[in-house]
């Protein structure tokens, strides 16, 4: 297991948002996280990414117990979260965005000048690895499409040596061709032995790229299914609670 959460509890006042949640992801696995609005998906990924501290339970990353006090600490231990708003600087170039905070420097007379040539080269490699196409690595991110921005955000996560990449609704608000591209990115990450947590409302996307599916309902992780051994009907039933109705009836 690359990543394991056990018995996670999170309360907001009297509301129990996460109730004894167990969740795990293997190396090179795409784990989909599905559930209705308010099921606790957002709270769970905020706990994974360091934005929320859990009230109970443990988190293990690569076999070590971890406690995150901030998103930066989660990034530092190899967990990158790519939110819908992406956190890219629109008026900076692709290269500058990917290397923000970890620039390559070449000292001249002891002054650490930026080595833009080396950063361009590494950016081209990263984008090549993901098969992201941009007009130029020196153009502004603001001028890029939603799919290209997703690619740049993933490339940045890879450059920061992320081993677990959490993607929150990466295909929402994208055109069809762009959705295909983002799903390709996720498959590429798996082939690079990276682990991915994919949060999505789109069951079709989930079935196309995921290896396993975790279903959340009322703040609990109620089921984990292997994608190859389940059906969209079963997953939708789990999300909406139809299985409970059937169980009660029989």
Contact footprint for other proteins (CB under 8 A): 71-72, 75-76, 86-92, 96, 99-103, 105, 111-114, 116-117, 120-121, 123-124, 127-128, 131-143, 156, 160
Q: Which lies closer to other proteins via its Cβ, residue 159 or residue 227?
A: 159
Q: Which lies closer to other proteins via its Cβ, residue 120 or residue 217?
A: 120
- DSSP alpha helix (H) spans, 49-202: 71-76, 94-98, 116-130, 146-159, 176-191
Q: Which lies closer to other proteins via its Cβ, residue 3 or residue 99?
A: 99
Question: What is the closest distance, in whole angstroms, from the C-beta atom of residue 202 to other proteins in the complex?
Answer: 23
Question: What is the closest distance, in whole angstroms, from the C-beta atom of residue 90 to other proteins in the complex?
Answer: 3
Is 163 strand, coil or helix? Answer: coil
Long-range contact pairs involving 85-92 (C-beta distance under 8 Å, separation at least 24): 86/149, 86/150, 86/153, 87/153, 88/141, 88/149, 88/152, 88/153, 88/156, 89/141, 90/140, 90/141, 90/142, 91/140, 91/141, 91/142, 92/140, 92/141
Beta bridge partners of 229: none
Question: What is the closest distance, in whole angstroms, from the C-beta atom of residue 121 to other proteins in the complex?
Answer: 6
Question: What is the closest distance, in whole angstroms, from the C-beta atom of residue 193 to other proteins in the complex?
Answer: 21
Question: What is the closest distance, in whole angstroms, from the C-beta atom of residue 174 to other proteins in the complex?
Answer: 14
> Residue 237 contacts by C-beta under 8 Å, 6 or more apart in sequence?
243, 246
Q: Which lies closer to other proteins via its Cβ, residue 134 or residue 239?
A: 134
Q: Which lies closer to other proteins via its Cβ, residue 112 or residue 241?
A: 112
């Amino acid at each position: 297991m690359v990543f394991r959460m056990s018995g996670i509890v999170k309360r907001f006042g009297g509301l129990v948002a996460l109730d004894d949640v167990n969740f795990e992801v293997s190396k090179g696995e795409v784990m989909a996280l599905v559930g209705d609005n308010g099921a606790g998906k957002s709270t769970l990924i905020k706990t994974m990414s360091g934005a929320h501290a859990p009230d109970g339970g443990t988190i293990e990353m690569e076999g070590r117990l971890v406690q995150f006090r901030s998103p930066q600490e989660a990034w530092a231990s190899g967990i990158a979260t790519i939110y819908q708003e992406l956190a890219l600087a629109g008026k900076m170039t692709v290269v500058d965005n990917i290397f923000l905070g970890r620039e390559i420097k070449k000292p001249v007379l002891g002054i650490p000048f930026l080595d833009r040539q080396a950063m361009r080269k590494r950016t081209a490699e990263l984008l090549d690895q993901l098969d992201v196409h941009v007009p130029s690595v020196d153009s502004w991110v603001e001028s890029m499409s939603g799919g290209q921005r997703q690619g740049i955000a993933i490339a940045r996560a890879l450059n920061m040596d992320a081993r677990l990449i959490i993607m929150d609704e990466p295909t929402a608000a994208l055109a069809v061709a762009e959705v295909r591209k983002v799903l390709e990115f996720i498959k590429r990450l798996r082939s690079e032995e990276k682990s991915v947590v994919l949060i999505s409302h789109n069951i079709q996307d989930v079935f196309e790229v995921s290896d396993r599916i975790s279903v959340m309902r009322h703040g609990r992780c109620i089921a984990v299914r292997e994608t190859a051994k389940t059906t969209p009907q079963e997953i939708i039933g789990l999300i909406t609670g139809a299985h409970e109705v059937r169980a009660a009836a029989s």
